[in-house]
Amino acid sequence: MKIALENLKLEDVEWREFKISDVFDIYTGALINQNEIQQGKFPRITATDLNNGIAFFTDDLKHKNFRTLENFISISFLGSVFYHKSKVSLDMKIHGIKIKNKELNYNIALFLIPLIKKFAFKYSYGYQLSTSVLKGQKLLLPIDSKGDPHWQFMEDYMRAIEKEHLEKITAYYNAKLNESNRRSGGFDLDKYKKFIQNQKQLENVEWKEFKINEIFNVYTGGDLILSKIKKGNIPIISHSVLNNGISSWSSQIKDRKIFNYKTTISLADRGNFFAFTQMQNFYIGTRVKALEIKYNVDFDVLKFICVCINKQSERFSYGRNCCANIEFLNIILPIDSKGNPNWQFMEDYIKDIEYKKIKDIVAYYQRKS
């Protein structure tokens, strides 16, 4: 039976401290030399905050130190905490905990992880979380009428939160699907099937080289001292390839051009050569480029062109950037029968991808609901 979140309040349950060793069985990984490890299908959990703790994938080794575990919570000696449903192998100083006499599940794990992080965050290379220290750590947990951890409450609470989020996510993507339908004039699926059949693959379309300055007006960002910028809701684009290039958020800056995201691509070119479309108007930072398209095209065209520009990224690095000559960089675009950029093909191609992806997402979340 599904219970509504409003009927599951954290303040309505009693809480009590438990030692980790009283509630969980504890396991610890072991060291294996890199030259003994072969690439395979088992995730290897190491002391990283990224990618759910997975550093690489290894074969199933016949080695006394190849220790595997499934359906557990990993805690690294540096304080990273993750849930793993499938079988993984544990590197040295990676701890695994499983509830004593009870099967752990995804929702209980989600409830426990933030509580574990409350003590795990303080550990580092100079102050490591050993097995003996982990055993004595304490968790404050909801309890039932017998004073035991109230696992059912934890599970129901996280299920209710997930249900609430799923409803919001499904509504969001349904709205995106409706928007996609509207933007394409009702999104005639038969029309797009015919379109794909006709064009079939990108390699069956004729392509031609164009210089950047044939397609865009090019602007270069000037110095911005971030410490002197008043915080706001306008993104500032830097040279990072992370977070869509956004390094900071600003209020309106006097005498600086703000770029319309629907007509402009941001381009980092100082080591990291990468183009992005943005989802709101933006500023550009030092030596970042803004490529403002000269034509009246749909936003989806910019997405297509970004991919074409990023095909050039392997040519550039910190020792060889193209800031001074970006205007003359060649990009290859699909063309129409007159030899002009085939804007309609680019738009239709991206819309088709977006439509199918959103349909898949909506179907996935509807199944989860």
Confidence tier at 242 by pLDDT (50, 70, 90): confident
Q: 3-class DSSP state for residue 188?
A: coil
Contact 18, 99 (CB under 8 A): no
**Looking at the domain covering 206-341, what would its CATH class be?**
alpha beta
The arrangement of secondary structure in 14-149, i.e. its CATH architecture, is Alpha-Beta Complex (3.90)
Determine the pLDDT at residue 317. Answer: 46
Pick the range with the lowest mean pLDDT from 20-24, 174-178, 210-214: 174-178
Average pLDDT, the chain: 85
Confidence tier at 138 by pLDDT (50, 70, 90): very high
Confidence tier at 75 by pLDDT (50, 70, 90): very high
Determine the pLDDT at residue 359. Answer: 83
**Residue 226, pLDDT above cutoff 80:** no
Higher pLDDT, 182 or 264: 264
Q: 3-class DSSP state for residue 8?
A: coil
Determine the pLDDT at residue 197. Answer: 52
Confidence tier at 123 by pLDDT (50, 70, 90): confident
Contact 348, 304 (CB under 8 A): no
Encode burial over 128-159: b for 16+ CB neighbours within 10 A, e otherwise: ebeeeebeebebebbbeeeeebbbebbbbbbb
Q: Where in the chain is the domain with CATH 3.90.220.20?
A: 14-149, 206-341
CA distance 253 to 17: 51
pLDDT tens profile 266-275: 998 765 678 9
Q: In what order do the strands lie in the sheet with 264-270?
A: 216-220, 289-293, 264-270, 272-276
Determine the pLDDT at residue 24. Answer: 97
Confidence tier at 349 by pLDDT (50, 70, 90): confident
Determine how many CB atoms are found less than 10 A away from the CB of residue 328: 12
Parallel/antiparallel/unpaired status of strands 54-58 and 234-237: unpaired
Determine the pLDDT at residue 63. Answer: 86
Determine the pLDDT at residue 319. Answer: 45
Read off the pTM: 0.64
**Tally of CA atoms within 13 A in the half-sphere of 197 that contains its CB:** 6
Determine the pLDDT at residue 182. Answer: 63
3-state helix, strand, coil in the chain (%, to 5): 40, 25, 35
**Residue 195, pLDDT above cutoff 60:** no
Confidence tier at 246 by pLDDT (50, 70, 90): very high
**Residue 191, pLDDT above cutoff 80:** no
Q: Which helix (H) or strand (E) holds 198?
A: helix 189-199
Q: Which residue has the tokens 């480029």?
A: 289
* Orientation of helix 189-199 relative to helix 343-368, angle to 10°: 120
Pick the range with the lowest mean pLDDT from 1-5, 128-132, 316-320: 316-320
Higher pLDDT, 289 or 174: 289
pLDDT tens profile 303-345: 999 999 888 766 654 444 555 567 778 899 999 999 999 999 9
Enumerate the β-bridge partners of residue 333: 208
pLDDT tens profile 196-205: 555 546 667 8
